[in-house]
Amino acid sequence: MEASLQKLARRGPDFSKQVEVGSWLFGHARLSILDTSTAAHQPIADESGRYWLVFNGEIYNFKEIRDKLRAKGFSFSSSGDTEVLLKGLVAWGEDLLPLLNGFFAFAFYDAQKEDLLLVRDRMGIKPLWYSQNKGGFFFASEQKALYPYGVAKELNPLSLRMYFRMGYIPGAAGVFKEVYQLLPGHLMRVRNGKPSQPTAWYRLPETRTGFLFQPNSWNEACHQVRELTEAAVRDRLVSDVPLGSFLSGGIDSSVVVAAASQYTDNLHTFSIGFKDQPYFDETRYAEEVALKFNTNHRVFSLSSHDLLAEVDHMLDYLDMPFGDSSALPVYILSKETSKHVTVALSGDGGDELFSGYHKHRGEWLARKHKNKLAALQWMLPILNLLPSSRHSSLGNKIRQMKKLLKAGTLSPFERYRLLAGVGLDRWPEQLLRAPAALEEERNFLLDLLGDFPNPGSLNDVLRADLSMVLPYDMLTKVDLMSMAHSLEVRVPLLDYRLVDFVHSLPQAFKMDGRQKKKLLIAAFSDLLPEAVYNRPKKGFEVPLLDWFRGPMEQRLKTTLDLEKIEAQGILNAKPVANLLDRLHAPNPGELHFKLWTLIVWQSFYDQHVAD
């Protein structure tokens, strides 16, 4: 247990403790946010010693739940949410879960019945990993905390395929066959050391057979979004430690700051900029928002040298292959922000909920203009000759046009695979020596996405993003990178009340031929500077291609040593060699993504497989 707690030290640096209860050993590493006194330390038990709780996260409506418990005769010795969660579970069991508003992963144990309940929050904001082997059943907030308990290092072929296809591993399975994560909105029980099949306690509202909410007008929907968003932000401002907000200058983080500024006069905001990469730098928009709302704003303006200096530190913290390169700026932003506050608000979830990605626009075009896209297929051979890359405005437009033309010929499910991943080429089959079958990948995605409908609607695409891209890429990134610096990140746009309302609205409320994210923009347009919502979306990227062709080129070739790769017996060296040979080609395409996933993979392998 001590080794596991040490691996979670950054996640909980303020206090750690372990307690033996019957046949279980519970441990907790605490980051103190609400009630920083010893009364809220964990593991925590009720007065009888029968019920125990280890809990990661925050319950924002704990005061209302506490009032209900007091009316039932419960008393409290602490002022935070942990004891409220414990006694709420004692009083109501699983019936408490729909009442909770927050983000959480917890284990609740009834020592008398020898019954352990594991629960994860609705959207998957907080992680919960588990494993079972001859030594017993184990669970933790990070995979690395499970490794001291004899986890077999046998790789999961499907997980590897998904990683090299998408840059992350979606679904319940980890990279090792013996490691799993509890899905968002799910629970499971462990009785006598035997885990039950996980079951869902929360699901996104169904939109195919009708809509849960029926606003009488567009204005009513905008008003409701405004009220729900402001309430979600207000609830997340409660803290017994310093609090601030990320501010990228995009719509989502700007909305969060605009709402938060109504409830506090001294909001701290934080942005990251790229001083020698103007194409990626968006700090001017963040500064305009900060000026409008008079926040205490800090910009961390970084050079490529500053970013590169943190690559190894970030890779060392990862305990699984995770190839989203925007994790690096999030890592650095969290590091710098944590020097000033312990809690930060974030705009994460807005793109998936309100339809903000370029791929959503591509999906809309593919549905509305299918015949036109079919007629333009003659352009593909020409576009394939032109340089395409994410690293310049023109190159990115060419890349997007090529992807759109390909998407226009595909079924909705295959189109989603293309737009949500990197491509539909044979890269995983070429790279992996023993790849999982393509049909296995398709069936896995269909199951994860809930039998993706054909033809379906844009709402089904958003549901797919909320079920896959959001928890396994975006939220995983933010949780890992922020916890690496003991920073708690709260995400108001994923308040379940707001999610349920927006997700249940007709697709026309979210996107049309002119504008993405139209509902959120309309709800807050009177507060936001016009420049924030009348500009193209770029995303939080780093200049990988420039690095690989410059300061990281030698490091790249050293890390991806072909003899070493061949000896490991997992990847084929030849396709890696082909990538390195194309490094300076005029048409790199997605080469930078593939090289980055290989670097991350090799770092993971050296740390957690080869040892």
What is the tens place of the pLDDT at every residue in 218-264?
A: 899 999 999 999 999 999 999 888 999 999 989 999 999 999 999 99
The 10 Å Cβ neighbour count of residue 385 is: 10
The 10 Å Cβ neighbour count of residue 154 is: 11
Encode 534-558: b = buried (16+ Cβ within 10 Å), e = exposed: eeeebebbbbbbbbbbeebeeebee
**Would you say 330 and 271 are in contact if contact means Cβ atoms under 8 Å apart?**
no
268: which strand partners?
A: 244, 296
In this prediction, residue 473 has a pLDDT band, given cuts at 50, 70 and 90, of very high
User: What is the amino acid identity at position 170?
Assistant: P
- Rounded to whole angstroms, the Cα distance separating 330 from 271 reads 10
Q: Which residue has the higher pLDDT, 297 or 217?
A: 297
Q: Which residue has the higher pLDDT, 312 or 457?
A: 312
Among 468-472, 534-538, 553-557, name the most confident range. Answer: 468-472
In this prediction, residue 407 has a pLDDT band, given cuts at 50, 70 and 90, of confident
| Nearest alpha-carbon partner for 404 in 382, 432, 376 | 376
> Out of 185-189, 226-230, 403-407, 503-507, which region has the weakest mean confidence (pLDDT)?
403-407
Q: Which long-range contacts (CB under 8 A, 24 or more apart) does 429-435 make?
A: 430/572, 430/575, 431/164, 431/571, 431/572, 431/575, 431/576, 432/157, 432/160, 432/161, 432/164, 432/570, 432/571, 432/572, 433/569, 433/570, 433/571, 433/572, 434/157, 435/157, 435/160, 435/161
In this prediction, residue 543 has a pLDDT band, given cuts at 50, 70 and 90, of confident
Predicted local confidence at residue 570, as pLDDT = 97
pLDDT digits (tens, 9 = 90+) for 58-114: 999 999 999 999 999 999 999 999 999 999 999 999 999 999 999 999 999 999 999
* pTM (two decimals): 0.93
Q: What is the mean pLDDT of residues 182-194?
A: 94
- For the chain, state the CA radius of gyration: 24
> Out of 395-399, 449-453, 490-494, which region has the weakest mean confidence (pLDDT)?
395-399
**Would you say 107 and 51 are in contact if contact means Cβ atoms under 8 Å apart?**
no
* pLDDT over threshold 90, residue 416: no
Q: How many residues are present in the chain?
A: 611
In this prediction, residue 147 has a pLDDT band, given cuts at 50, 70 and 90, of very high
What's the mean per-residue pLDDT of the chain? 90
Predicted local confidence at residue 3, as pLDDT = 85
Superfamily for domain range 2-200: Aminohydrolase, N-terminal nucleophile (Ntn) domain (3.60.20.10)
Q: What is the mean pLDDT of residues 167-189?
A: 97
Backbone angles phi, psi at 102, to 5 degrees: 170, -165
Q: What is the mean pLDDT of residues 388-406?
A: 68
Predicted local confidence at residue 455, as pLDDT = 66
Give the class (CATH, top level) of 218-354+471-533.
Answer: alpha beta
Q: What is the mean pLDDT of residues 136-157?
A: 94
Angle between helices 591-604 and 573-581 (to 10 degrees): 130
Q: What is the mean pLDDT of residues 458-476?
A: 93
Name the residue with tokens 């958003």.
462
Predicted local confidence at residue 93, as pLDDT = 97
Predicted local confidence at residue 375, as pLDDT = 64
* pLDDT over threshold 90, residue 317: yes
| Nearest alpha-carbon partner for 123 in 497, 593, 607 | 497
* pLDDT over threshold 80, residue 371: no
In this prediction, residue 278 has a pLDDT band, given cuts at 50, 70 and 90, of confident
Predicted local confidence at residue 599, as pLDDT = 97
Name the residue with tokens 């090299």.
164
In this prediction, residue 358 has a pLDDT band, given cuts at 50, 70 and 90, of confident
* pLDDT over threshold 80, residue 421: no
> Out of 312-321, 359-368, 416-425, which region has the weakest mean confidence (pLDDT)?
416-425
115: which strand partners?
A: 110, 191
Q: What is the mean pLDDT of residues 460-471?
A: 93
Predicted local confidence at residue 390, as pLDDT = 62
The CA-to-CA distance between both ends of the chain, in Å, stands at: 20
Predicted local confidence at residue 367, as pLDDT = 78
Q: Any idea what DSSP says for residue 52?
A: E
Phi-psi region of 174 (alpha: psi -120 to 50; beta: other; left: phi over 0): beta
In this prediction, residue 207 has a pLDDT band, given cuts at 50, 70 and 90, of low
- Rounded to whole angstroms, the Cα distance separating 97 from 120 reads 10
Q: Which long-range contacts (CB under 8 A, 24 or more apart) does 20-26 make?
A: 21/45, 21/52, 21/109, 21/111, 22/111, 22/114, 23/114, 23/193, 24/109, 24/116, 25/1, 26/52, 26/54, 26/107, 26/109
Predicted local confidence at residue 388, as pLDDT = 63
pLDDT digits (tens, 9 = 90+) for 547-590: 899 999 999 999 999 999 999 999 999 999 999 999 998 877 78
Q: What is the mean pLDDT of residues 479-485?
A: 97
| Nearest alpha-carbon partner for 204 in 446, 494, 414 | 494
Predicted local confidence at residue 402, as pLDDT = 74
- Rounded to whole angstroms, the Cα distance separating 174 from 178 reads 8
**Would you say 247 and 297 are in contact if contact means Cβ atoms under 8 Å apart?**
yes
In this prediction, residue 387 has a pLDDT band, given cuts at 50, 70 and 90, of low
In this prediction, residue 460 has a pLDDT band, given cuts at 50, 70 and 90, of confident
Instruction: Write down the domain spans for the chain.
Output: 2-200, 218-354+471-533, 543-611
* pLDDT over threshold 70, residue 385: no
In this prediction, residue 486 has a pLDDT band, given cuts at 50, 70 and 90, of very high
* pLDDT over threshold 80, residue 394: no
- Rounded to whole angstroms, the Cα distance separating 267 from 244 reads 6
Q: Do 2-200 and 218-354+471-533 share a fold?
A: no
